[in-house]
Amino acid sequence: MVAIDLSGSSPPSDQIYRQLRGLILAGRVTAGERLPTVRQLARDLNVAPGTVARAYKQLETEAFVQTRARGGTTVTATPRSLPPEVLKAARAFYDAAVRHDLSLEDSIATLTGIWDTPHGIEDSPQG
């Protein structure tokens, strides 16, 4: 479900948060679905339970999940989700990036570059 890079520049709790948030937004983890316990995910990822707890807390603050005593952490009944058009475009971008052996880091940098441009990139530099 989640993988982290302990040598990466981003803290493990941020990596966990971003990946779970992405899975929820993409509909790969759905409303009512239970997430692994903090201890179980910490064991699976070889991190401290507090690291996973921070990620879960951030998701809870943003209403993506809810945590109940002895009930675990579940995706909320009405999580924010991506419009189908955006999800379809994201999947198409992913497929193209994989076909061209583009790394995740380069893919994110590309999207960030487009996002940070006032009107996006309308014309390809290659014409």
Q: How far apart are CA 32 and CA 19, in angstroms?
A: 18
Q: How far apart are CA 114 and CA 124, in angstroms?
A: 11
With bands split at pLDDT 50, 70 and 90, how would you rate the model's confidence at 102? very high
Q: Which fold has domain 12-75?
A: Arc Repressor Mutant, subunit A (1.10.10)
Mean residue pLDDT of the chain comes to 88
pLDDT given for residue 125 in this prediction: 55
With bands split at pLDDT 50, 70 and 90, how would you rate the model's confidence at 127? very low
Q: How far apart are CA 32 and CA 75, in angstroms?
A: 5
Of 1, 22, 6, 15, the closest CA to residue 80 belongs to 22
Span 38-66, average pLDDT: 96
The per-residue pLDDT for range 66-80, each reduced to its tens digit, is 999 888 999 997 666
Alpha helices by DSSP H, 1-118: 12-25, 38-45, 49-61, 84-99, 104-115
Span 30-54, average pLDDT: 95
Residue ranges per structural domain of the chain: 12-75, 84-115
Give the other-Cβ count within 10 Å of 36's Cβ: 17
Span 75-97, average pLDDT: 85
Of 36, 18, 37, 38, the closest CA to residue 26 belongs to 18
